[in-house]
Chains A and B, each alone.
Chain A
Amino acid sequence: QSALTQPASVSGSPGQSITISCTGTSSDVGGYNYVSWYQQHPGKAPKLMIYDVSNRPSGVSNRFSGSKSGNTASLTISGLQAEDEADYYCSSYTSSSTPGVFGTGTKVTVL
């Protein structure tokens, strides 16, 4: 099972919107609405930001939103803030023999 493909880095200025893509296959992202997104600051554990493609857990800012089209899921961060600078990982349920599959990770830089 290969990792889901994400861009290595995305950057934006404060207040701007950025979008991170997560590309898989019909066996994972495209086949199920079970895509989640995690934010990880240096030295910290990942934090769930989006689940089931577009749902936000309680306490997560509504500046974070998720969507999916075909085999590609996306995370959009609007009104970019300095605190959003972190690594972001997508994850998906998969019909293959692994428990789940993560994306390659994207480093978000706030300029």
Chain B
Amino acid sequence: QVQLQESGPGLVKPSQTLSLTCTVSGGSISSGGYYWSWIRQHPGKGLEWIGYIYYSGSTYYNPSLKSRVTISVDTSKNQFSLKLSSVTAADTAVYYCAREYSSSSYLDYWGQGTLVTVSS
């Protein structure tokens, strides 16, 4: 059973960089066939795809966030990470990591989510 767990600060100051890590257990990031994704959900709102990474390091970002987002992977630790720069209050959200089946774009395993609040 694949499990994903987000970790990182729950409070980030405006203009700083939000950094989160997703640790994968029960399966290898390097096994291929899946994208490793970040999705966020603003309080009381819908889901927004941030982007994803393949184990090889190939990335794909939402154009609305592309200038501020970096997703990276550490296969030795079976982790992938999200960095979002120059954050504002509008980036306050629950951030989820998830596994996406690459052939048809569905997210079959999700982390529990972590609330990140942007505030001074």
- Residues of A whose CB lies within 8 Å of any CB of B are 1, 3, 33-34, 36, 38, 44-48, 51-52, 57, 89, 91-93, 97-105
Contacts and interface: CB of A to CB of B under 8 A. Distances in A.
A108 B105 CA distance: 24
Given A99-B51, A101-B49, A48 B106 contact: yes
Contacts of B63: 1, 97-98
Contacts of A38: 47, 107
B74 interface: no
B70 interface: no
Contacts of B62: 98-99
B104 A52 contact: yes
20 contacts: A1-B63, A3-B46, A34-B105, A45-B96, A45-B111, A46-B96, A46-B107, A47-B110, A51-B104, A89-B46, A92-B105, A93-B105, A98-B49, A99-B37, A99-B50, A99-B61, A100-B100, A101-B49, A102-B47, A103-B46
Contacts of A104: 46
DSSP class of B's interface residues: helix, strand, loop or mixed?
strand
A57 B106 CA distance: 11
B32 to A, nearest CB: 18
Contact of A51 (B96, B101, B111): B101
Nearest to B60: A99
Nearest to A97: B63
A13 B50 CA distance: 36
Contacts of B49: 98-102
Which 8 A-B residue pairings sit nearest by Cβ, starting from the closest?
A36-B106, A93-B105, A51-B106, A45-B110, A34-B104, A102-B47, A99-B49, A105-B46
